[in-house]
Structure formats: structure tokens, C-alpha cells
Structure 1
Amino acid sequence: GEADQLRKSMATFKFTGGVSKFKDKLISGMVKNGYSPEFAEKTFSQLEGFGSYGFPESHAASFALIAYASSYVKCHYADAFCAALINSQPMGFYAVAQIVGDARNHGVEIRPVCINRSRWDCTLEQVKGDERRHAVRLGMRLVRGLAAVDAARIVAARADQPFDSVDDMWRRASVPAASLVELAEADAFLPSLDLQRRDALWAIKALRDEPLPLFVAAAEREMKTIAEQQEPDVELRQMTDGHNVIQDYSHTGLTLREHPIAFLRKDLTARSIVTCGEAMSARDGRWLMTAGLVLVRQMPGSAKGVMFLTIEDETGPANVVVWPKLFERRRRVVLGSSMMAINGRIQREGEVVHLIAQQLFDLSGDLSALADRDGEYKLPTGRGDEFAHGSPGSPDSRDRVPAVKPRDIFVPDLHIDTLKVKSRNFH
């Protein structure tokens, strides 16, 4: 325990005198164990010197090697780099959605979670016609709520023959129906069985906790799938594009479909809100407004209360600086928004670009109706004085409230179908 305290005292990255309190005990102990007083004094002075300079120096050398090796692998083996980072989660600064998005921007093909092809970890699959390229197959580790032991049973059961139906998978893998529901909600039946979310969930509803012995024996004798129940054919109304995106984020934390902000782009453009890509390529000193999903919030101890935000839309990320006074005025917006609009000035120093925020607006409400959107659609427009009396797109109390239209058993105030983005916060 004392040795660990000495190590921590040397690892403070700055000399604070913490090592000195161990001097008497360390030197007396070394002398007692047969070392000369001169040697003990010299050893301790070296420890003090290392604590004030050597420790950060050794870390710098280590980080330099890690940075070089990571850059090399990312440049030449972007597919393996992407898969390895996802398999190492939770770790680091970036969420899985950002890792996948960056890999796709660099030409890596990303393939969805599949009951017949995915393992627990992400894997590499050969791209047809190109022996040097690989696609990344997302692993079942991304399916929220799915146990690793159930994923292992699924992989083992399909070793000799892929699953040909939900019923076949349920009987051969011997996993509970709840695990199949998790996979269906993650859209894992679509790639190989061509079953949409609702179709897969409908098929799972007919299953029990365990298959009946009669049907198991018949299936083994005839070597083919025999369903226990013959459900009538139904044609379910499929989810909208927007609803599928919400379900992707809810059950895997990312989507391989359109970015959520892409559905809102037409209306955002009408409000003079530019893309993050345009903002980050704008000239120094330009005033503009951009918007995106809030991915990362940082407030380093050395930043004196400055908040750094990373937002993202369909064109990429944007870096935002929020000064302490603005943060205190708009604390609820900064800390609680899933989607945010920022009005500010571009600050460019070489390749480093930031948007210095002057005004912040919570646009999370725009995401609440995403489930009803298919392709392009029009959001309700805000009133002309929206910046003085509310966030952009907020309803006008002077307008007549439209009648509420029922949609199944959906209660709008519960926000069941609202896109929820889990941002990473660092203090």
C-alpha cells in the first residue's frame, strides 16, 4: 500500500513535494536492509527527479508510439481498425456511431447485425471481387439487452446450417424468446431472412418458452423445419424511414440508414441553418447558425469553466466552444439537449476550426416527430419572433391547436418514439 502511494506521488505530472514525505522511511528502510546511506540518498533523489519530470516524459514517449501506430493502422487497415475499436468498447472518446461514420467516410463498407453472419464481436468479411478489401460485419455485442451467452448459443447452433426462419432459430439455438425480441428490434433478421422488424416480432409472438417435444422429434426425423403453429399470413404496416432510424439508435446506438438530421434538412435550410460541414469549412470570422445531435460534452479542469461540445449532422461533426457566461445562462440547453442549434462566429487557426457560440437553442422537440416521417417532409414553421420568445420551430400560442389524431395506442406526451442520443460527457 505504501509503495502504491509512492507510485501515485510520482505520477502527478507536476512536482508537488508529495514524494518527500516518504524520504525518512524509505532511506531508513534501505539502510536497515544493508544499503549504504549514500546509496539510499542518491536513490531517493533520483525518485524525486523522476517524479517531477521523468514520469510525464515517459508518458509522452508512450503516447507518441500509440499515436503513430494507430494512425498507421487507421490509414492502411481502416476496416480492422474500425472493428477493433468497436470490440474494445466501452473505451475512449468516440461513440460507436462516430467510429462507424468515420469508417464509412473513408470507404469502409459496414454491414448490419445479422442472425446468420454476426458473431459476438465485429468481424471482417471479404468483399466480392477484391481480395484486399474487407467489410466490417457488426457484432451482436451492439444489440442492447442481448446476453453474451445467448449470442454464443446462436453462433454454435448455426455452425452446420444457417437458420431459415424465426421458428428454426428458436428451436435450434434454445435461447429465450426475449433474446429473439432484442435481435428483432435491432433488425437482425432483415439481412438474411428478409424479415422487417414488425414481421420478425410478429413471428416471435407465436413462440413459447420451450418447443413442444412432438415437433422437435418430427423435425429431427425429417431434417427440416416444422412449425408448431401455422399462423395466418398477414401484411403488417411497415415502419417509416424515420421510425426505423429511431429504433436503430434505441437498440444498437447507431444507424446505417439516413442520418436523423437528413430528414430535417429541408426545414433547417429554410431557417438559414447551415450544415456542420459548411460551418467547419467557412472562413474565419464568419457568423452563421448550424445544428446537430449533441455527441460529446467536455469541461476540462484546466479550461476555467469553458464547455466544449461536439455536434453532428449528416455531413459530419462540428466543434463548438461555449464560454462560461453563456453556459451559466443556458445551462439547461447545454446539458439537456439531444439536438441543438448554435448561432456563433467561426474561429479558424490552421486546420483547427471552432464555432464560438453566442446563442444556443434546444431543437430536441424536432426529433419527437421523426417516427412519422418518410423521406422528405415539412416541419411546422415557427413564428417570426421565435428567437425572442422561444427556440426555433416552437409553436405559436396564438395559433389554433390542431386536433390530435390517434395513432394506435400512442400517447405523444410519453415521447415513446423520440430519438434518444446518448452523449458522452467528460468533466
Structure 2
Amino acid sequence: YDLVVEVAIIRPGPIVGKMVHPYLKRRQGREPVTYPHPSLEPVLKRTLGVPLFQEQLLRMAMIAAGFTGGEAEELRRAMGFKRSEARMKEIEKKLRAGMERNGITGAAEEEVVQSIASFALYGFPESHAASFALLAYASAYLKCHYLAAFTAALLNNQPMGFYSPATIVKDAERHGLRIRPIDVTHSDWPCTLEKGGDKICVRLGMRYVKGLRQEAAQAIVRERARGHFTSIDDLGRRVPELRKPELVMLAEIGALNWVGERPSLRSGQALYGAPEDQKTGGPQGLSPTVQPYHRRDALWQVERAARPAGPLFESGFPNSELRTPNSEPLAPMTPEERLVADFGGTGLTVGPHPMAYRRAEMKALGVRAAAELVRIPAGKRVRIAGGVIARQRPGTAKGFVFLSLEDETGISNAIITPDVFERNRLTVVQEQFLMVEGKLEKQDNVISVRAERLCALAITKAETSSHDFY
């Protein structure tokens, strides 16, 4: 039942009616359970004397003010989707008159009226809250016991929910799930499940490639079923639905790295040094001497495949010999270039988090990783830093702003007071990465930093994103 209450208590009705803190204190045994009037105990006992649901408000009106069933229905409609302030005023007069007839006056009368009036600002029926609570419980169960399937389903049903796909991916990885990158030799249009040793992995689907049409991706899958692609040139010939910009994007994000069979380079030198690109482990069935392209080499192959070689080369060399295993390899992309390509091409990365590349610098600045905060005592001044993944400024929060900052170890929370926000408005609203300094607060297993100072960080040029709620 706690989940039912949690769903209902964050609605504007209970918040404006000042019901949240009394319920939480009573639930934690910090405050005695009381009732506006003894006659209301049967109605409010389950929610510890605090009205949270529409049904409770209707029964309170019937018991305390003697409302008939018809008058209670009128109250329900007044609290419905199209709320009428004039109708609520009329009902308030009836409430007060009815309670006075029943001997309920003074503070008790005001408490009941305040509860009912605040619910005109949106409150949940108990049945509605229970339905959402069931979804929350089922989601938590699936995430705990079937993380791979749950993550794939979330990614396949975007846009939805509070967090972006990039955050969903990193959270799943921190919980032990291996997520493999987009690869035209493996990926379907949706994200799928794959075996990875004794564990199930998630393979990102081509639906995440920006600018790639679904029909082109499906053509890749159909043609792949007839036989693996021997080269990027072969891919382009066999899948004419692919346009050059789509091939370029696939190469930039590393999705063409495993196309074709290539012998090892001389002296065993791999064409790539990107740990995230190697997470595929190679297509099944290829020989152990196969070496993947790195992204820049794949881009070169795409450009070559898209242009005629010209009479000089066409007469002397087969297409496949224009670049040989003994050719000097092109320089692989740097970690920053891969981040820019990943976020620009898919909106996420399965490689290291951007903050991971700067951890040494962060330590030198005294910045604590998100995962460290649990071991630091409350009240201590700390610095945290990360990518902004959510900004919230609820209308009921009196000007406070709540930030969620993500690094490679987890998510930390920062509370921005109205005065700090006014001094740093543009930084808070616009910057992708922030460092926040302030006092560490811990209450009821919630850890946050009350910001005193903050500044922008130049972590990466990659186009990361946040979900903002103002």
C-alpha cells in the first residue's frame, strides 16, 4: 500500500493541502496520528489521519457535513477534469453549513475545508493510484529479475518516461548488464537480446541511428540473412536502399566495423583502439584472424565505395585491393571524437561515460564521485560534478530547482535555492556539465547537496541531453 500512497502523495492536491510532511512524519513514527474529528477516523485510519484520495474527501463530506450521495457526486464532478472555482465556492458554503450543524467548527472545520479545497487542484482517486502502483511494482520486479528484457523494452518504446535513453543505458550497465553497440552484422531495427557467455546482453537496434530510415535498416537485415557482407562495398551494392548519408552515419558510429573478413594486420597491430568498439566481440562464424575496421577506416571505405575509382585504378586493381592489409592504417578516432560521433549519431554511448575520461582531473579538483557520497557524513562540504540529466523546478517548490547529475558511478542530486538560482540562472538552465559545491544532506536514505556555488565544466563537445521540467 506504500506504493499506492507514494503515487498519490506527489500530486498537487496533497502538496498544496500541506498533507505530504504530516503523512511522512506519521509513517516514520515521528508524529502521532490524529484526526480532524473523531467521526472521521474510519475514513482516514488507513492513511494515518491524512486525506490523500478523492474517495476519502467524498466520504468526509458525507460524514462531517451530512452530504447526500447526490451532493457528494456534485463534489466529485467539481473536482473533475474541468474544475470550476465558482462551483467549489458554492460547495464550500454547503460544507461549512453542514459541519456547523454537526458541531464541527473552528480548527477542525478549517482542516476539512482545506483538504477538500486543495483537492480541486488535482488529486488521485485511490483506484487510479493503485493502478499506477501496480505498474511501478511490476516495473521494479522486471528490472530486478529480468534486466536485459526490461532495458530492451524501455529502449524500444522511447520517447517515454523521466530519463533519456543515454541514462537508461548507463544505469543498466552499472547494474551489470552488457549492452553491445549497433552493428549491421548483428543489429535489427529494434533493440534485441543476445547471448553473451552465461549472461544475456542487449544489442542496440538500428532504430537509434539518426537519419537511418526503417526500410533501409530492414533491407540490411533481409540481405544479411542471405549471407554475410564481404565488405562495405558489398553492403552498398547489395542494399541499394541505403543512401550515402546513411552509410556515412553508420560508419561514424562504428556500426560498420565488423563488416567483411579481413586478415590480421602486420605485426598483429589492430586497426582500432576503442574499447567500446570492441564490445561486439566480432560476428559469429568469422575466423579468429578477422580484424575490425576502426571508424575512420570504415568512413574511408564508404567514401571509396560511393565514388568510381577512375580509369587508372579500375584497369589495374580490383576494388578490394585499393586498400591492402599492409597499408598504413588511418589514425583511429580519439575518445572525444568517438563521444561526439556516438551522441551525434545515436544520442547515447555504450563506451565510457564522458566523466570517466576526466576522473583524474576531477579528483585533483576535490570532486567526489556520485558513488562516494554514501560514505561521506552529512553536513560535510563536498564538490560533485556530472552531466545534467534532469532539471526540475516544480511550481509547488517555492522557486527551488532540483538537478540530477550523472557520472560514471551513478547519479547525484543537487538542490539549488532560489537565490543561488537567480545568480546562476543561465548556467543552471543551459550548461550540459556542472560542478556543484555545497553541504551534503542525508535524510531518509535520500542524499543531496545543497548548492552554494556552481560552475560549468567543459567535459566534451558531444551533444548530451537532459529532461527538463519547469
TM exceeding 0.5: yes
Equivalent runs, 1:84-99 vs 2, <5 Å = 84-99=153-168
Q: Following TM superposition, by how much is the alpha carbon of 1:45 offset from its aligned partner in structure 2, in angstroms?
A: 3.5
Per the alignment, do residues 281 and 252 of structure 1 end up closer, same or farther by CA in structure 2, a change over 3 Å counting? farther
Equivalent runs, 1:182-331 vs 2, <5 Å = 182-191=249-258, 193=260, 194-208=292-306, 230-233=321-324, 234=327, 235-331=329-425
For the residues of structure 1 that align with 2:344 and 2:426, how far apart are their CA atoms? 23
User: 3-state SS of the aligned residue for 1:159?
Assistant: helix
Q: 1:157 aligns with which of 212, 223, 226?
A: 223
Answer yes or no: is the 8 Å Cα contact 2:185–2:228 preserved in 1.
yes
Answer yes or no: is the 8 Å Cα contact 1:177–1:209 preserved in 2.
no
Identical aligned residues as a percent: 40
Q: State the partner residue of 1:422.
A: 465
1:106 and 2:166 aligned: no
Answer yes or no: is the 8 Å Cα contact 1:13–1:56 preserved in 2.
no
TM-score, normalising length: structure 2: 0.64
For the residues of structure 2 that align with 1:57 and 1:247, how far apart are their CA atoms? 47
User: 3-state SS of the aligned residue for 2:305?
Assistant: coil
Q: Which runs of no fewer than 5 residues in structure 2 stay unpaired? A: 1-10, 15-67, 81-115, 261-291, 310-316
| Partner deviation per Cα, 1:269-288 (whole Å, 9 max, x = no partner) | 11222212223442111111
| Partner deviation per Cα, 1:139-189 (whole Å, 9 max, x = no partner) | 111112211121111111111212221011111111112211111111111
Q: Following TM superposition, by how much is the alpha carbon of 1:197 offset from its aligned partner in structure 2, in angstroms?
A: 0.9
User: 3-state SS of the aligned residue for 1:190?
Assistant: coil
Q: Following TM superposition, by how much is the alpha carbon of 1:205 offset from its aligned partner in structure 2, in angstroms?
A: 0.6
Q: In angstroms, what is the RMSD of aligned CA positions?
A: 2.8
Per the alignment, do residues 344 and 42 of structure 1 end up closer, same or farther by CA in structure 2, a change over 3 Å counting? closer
For the residues of structure 2 that align with 1:303 and 1:43, how far apart are their CA atoms? 31
Q: Which amino acid aligns with 1:180?
A: L
Per the alignment, do residues 256 and 227 of structure 1 end up closer, same or farther by CA in structure 2, a change over 3 Å counting? farther
Q: Which amino acid aligns with 2:322?
A: E
1:123 and 2:192 aligned: yes
Per the alignment, do residues 361 and 46 of structure 1 end up closer, same or farther by CA in structure 2, a change over 3 Å counting? closer
Q: 1:61 aligns with which of 124, 130, 136?
A: 130
For the residues of structure 2 that align with 1:158 and 1:227, how far apart are their CA atoms? 24
Q: State the partner residue of 1:167.
A: 233
Q: Which amino acid aligns with 1:231?
A: L
For the residues of structure 2 that align with 1:338 and 1:76, how far apart are their CA atoms? 33
Answer yes or no: is the 8 Å Cα contact 1:284–1:347 preserved in 2.
yes
Q: Following TM superposition, by how much is the alpha carbon of 1:100 offset from its aligned partner in structure 2, in angstroms?
A: 1.2
Answer yes or no: is the 8 Å Cα contact 2:347–2:463 preserved in 1.
no
Q: Following TM superposition, by how much is the alpha carbon of 1:357 offset from its aligned partner in structure 2, in angstroms?
A: 0.4
Q: Following TM superposition, by how much is the alpha carbon of 1:97 offset from its aligned partner in structure 2, in angstroms?
A: 1.7
Q: State the partner residue of 1:400.
A: none
Q: Following TM superposition, by how much is the alpha carbon of 1:349 offset from its aligned partner in structure 2, in angstroms?
A: 0.7
Per the alignment, do residues 155 and 209 of structure 1 end up closer, same or farther by CA in structure 2, a change over 3 Å counting? farther
For the residues of structure 2 that align with 1:44 and 1:313, how far apart are their CA atoms? 51
Q: State the partner residue of 2:247.
A: 180
User: 3-state SS of the aligned residue for 1:206?
Assistant: helix
For the residues of structure 2 that align with 1:304 and 1:227, how far apart are their CA atoms? 71
For the residues of structure 2 that align with 1:161 and 1:314, how far apart are their CA atoms? 39
Q: Following TM superposition, by how much is the alpha carbon of 1:229 offset from its aligned partner in structure 2, in angstroms?
A: 6.9
Answer yes or no: is the 8 Å Cα contact 2:373–2:447 preserved in 1.
no
User: 3-state SS of the aligned residue for 2:389?
Assistant: strand
* Larger CA Rg, structure 1 vs 2: 2
Per the alignment, do residues 267 and 311 of structure 1 end up closer, same or farther by CA in structure 2, a change over 3 Å counting? same
User: 3-state SS of the aligned residue for 1:201?
Assistant: helix
Per the alignment, do residues 227 and 74 of structure 1 end up closer, same or farther by CA in structure 2, a change over 3 Å counting? farther
Q: 2:77 aligns with which of 48, 56, 65?
A: 48
Equivalent runs, 1:3-18 vs 2, <5 Å = none
User: 3-state SS of the aligned residue for 2:436?
Assistant: strand
For the residues of structure 2 that align with 1:157 and 1:353, how far apart are their CA atoms? 51
Q: Which amino acid aligns with 1:237?
A: A
Q: Following TM superposition, by how much is the alpha carbon of 1:56 offset from its aligned partner in structure 2, in angstroms?
A: 3.0
For the residues of structure 2 that align with 1:308 and 1:232, how far apart are their CA atoms? 54
